Amino acid sequence: MMGNTNTKSFVITGHSIGGATASLCALWLLSYLQHISSSVSVLCITFGSPLLGNGSFSRAILKERWGGNFCHVVLKHDIMPRLLFAPIVPYTAQLNFLLQFWQLSMTSPHFGKLAVQISDEHKAELFNFVMSYLHAATQDGEGSAPILFHPFGTYFFVSEEGAICVDSSTAVIKMMHLMLVSSSPACSIEDHLKYGDYVKTLSLKFLNHDNSMQGNIPDSSYEAGLELAIQSSGLANQELAIEPAKECLQMTRRMGPSPTQNAASLAIRLSKVVPYRAEIEWYKAWCDQQIDQMGYYDLFKGRRGSSKRNMKVNMNRHKLARFWNNVIDMLERNELPHDLATRAKWVNASHSYKLLVEPLDIAEYYGKGMHMHPNKGHYIQHGRERRYEIFDRWWKDRKVTAEENNERSTYASLTQDSCFWARVEEARDWLDSIRRESDTTKLAVWWDNIEKFEKYAMELIENKEVSQDVLAKNSSYSIWVEDLRELRELKAKVKRFPHHFPPSLDGEVVP
């Protein structure tokens, strides 16, 4: 299926432990599709699945914005999705019998009778044990307990009266507790086998548009929705649970501006940072016109003193970094629309920022000798900011327009590889290493690296994907090309006239 270009989406489902397996499969698939930049969608639907990971695991899924890919269906009284709130090691034997009972019963109701039966006493012990930890998980302050496993994704709580959706992990835990309180040990075990019946009943309700609200309808649409949610959860007839359930559902109401409002506000702020970028563009144009012909990258890298121009550019560089870091932070906190990273305006703006400003970051890194620090190294592996890696992914995942496939007739205004100068610095380091080294194995590796970079750079130049500052007479790249030419000429002379050079040079000599 992965090789089929007609595949548009994957839907993965599983019941009980199969639900946990389905979730793991979906996570692997999401990671793989992200790696190959595929637009295929993934939806995982689980039924009565146990919890899967701890708080860090849940936050990692949220950070990757994969929570919306998971829908966990949980019956009102089913104990299985709630088991791992408690340290269940003391009940391993009973759980083994219980899992065997569930497995055989799902094969056939008659087979379930063949399993070793758990006594009512042990059922009650397990039920109360899980309930006590689930209750502690809903408490704040001194009464709280560490939560070993955390929910992630959207939870679809189903009862005889309907269903409600909750995606806040805190609210999910509270609803799990409130709905289980009205259950019994036997019912909590039997409900795990009734997902097919409940889904069928719920589907019929939906098809028959059976969603009428009982009693007086509140004037506020929000309050009406809250009342309907309480009825659908099956808690409307339990007076002690109604108010806690309302408080729980109110927690899920988004406070502050909506993601759409935040995106609109962010667009205004983007327009306000445009002048900072324009001033850096003017600085680049000024660098390209200088008689020393060093270019944008090298002039910023070798800047001396604290001229007003240099200080202004450096200050704007930091202001733009703060703005874009804030965009990423808001995305990861789910404060912006999920599709913002695919919107052309933001993809293009982030890409233009990266192409313009990252060369300055590289110049700063090498100009200050940070690559020589014992705990660091070259920029791409050790100094590159995370925002640039994210913007690389945005650009790679974009929809390519027909215009982008056209050949360039002039050199680009900005070099299309924002890390080009970092690659030049690595290539210069390889040349320096060759001058000092006599080990033929290491020399072969460095020459291979140099030839690969040389070929890569020439392809960029031939395709006019570099800006003119790369080809400036005294740019780092032009100097590297000249140094490489001289080293090759010297190497050729050594091979032709070895008796004219000291034996210790062994064919790899330098001035």
pLDDT tens for 123-156 read 899 999 999 998 888 886 555 567 889 999 999 9
Question: By three-state DSSP, how is residue 246 classified?
Answer: helix
Contacts of 190 (CB under 8 A, 6+ apart): none
Residue 507: what pLDDT? 43
Two tokens at 445?
């590796």
For residues 293-311, give the mean pLDDT: 84
Q: In terms of DSSP bridges, do strands 9-15 and 154-159 run parallel, antiparallel, or are they unpaired? A: unpaired
pTM above 0.75, yes or no: no
Confidence of residue 383 (pLDDT cuts 50, 70, 90): very high
Q: Closest by alpha carbon to 358, among 307, 421, 272?
A: 421
Query: Residue 397: how many CB atoms within 10 A of its CB?
Result: 14
Distance CA(172)–CA(183), nearest Å, equals 17
Question: Which residue's entry shows tokens 């990861």?
Answer: 332
Please check whether residue 76 is in contact with residue 183, taking contact to mean a CB–CB distance below 8 angstroms: yes
For residues 363-385, give the mean pLDDT: 90
Is pLDDT at 484 greater than 70 in this prediction? yes
Compute CA 205 distance to the chain's CA centroid, rounded to the nearest angstrom.
38
Please check whether residue 466 is in contact with residue 472, taking contact to mean a CB–CB distance below 8 angstroms: no
Please check whether residue 44 is in contact with residue 69, taking contact to mean a CB–CB distance below 8 angstroms: yes
Is the sign of the CA dihedral 125, 130, 134, 136 positive or negative? positive
| Phi and psi at residue 373, to the nearest 5° | -65, 140
For residues 385-406, give the mean pLDDT: 82
Is pLDDT at 410 greater than 50 in this prediction? yes
Distance CA(166)–CA(153), nearest Å, equals 9
Residue 459: what pLDDT? 93
Confidence of residue 506 (pLDDT cuts 50, 70, 90): very low
Highest mean pLDDT among 403-417, 460-474, 493-507: 460-474
Distance CA(378)–CA(368), nearest Å, equals 12
Q: Closest by alpha carbon to 156, among 47, 34, 39, 3?
A: 47
Q: Residue 44 forms beta bridges with which residues?
A: 12, 70
The tally of CA atoms less than 13 A away on the side-chain side of residue 105 is 19
The tally of CA atoms less than 13 A away on the side-chain side of residue 470 is 25
One-character DSSP codes across 140-181: -GGG----SSB--SEEEEEETTEEEEE--HHHHHHHHHHHHH
Mean pLDDT of all residues in the chain?
85
Compute CA 249 distance to the chain's CA centroid, rounded to the nearest angstrom.
28
Is the sign of the CA dihedral 231, 232, 238, 244 positive or negative? negative
Amino acid letter, residue 123: K
Q: Residue 9 forms beta bridges with which residues?
A: 41
Residue 252: what pLDDT? 67
Amino acid letter, residue 435: R
CA angle 250, 255, 260 (to 5 degrees): 125
From the DSSP assignment, how many helices (H) and strands (E) are in the chain?
A: 19, 5
Q: Closest by alpha carbon to 10, among 72, 396, 195, 32?
A: 32
pLDDT in tens, 230-251: 777 777 777 777 788 777 777 6
User: Catalytic site residues?
Assistant: 16, 78, 192
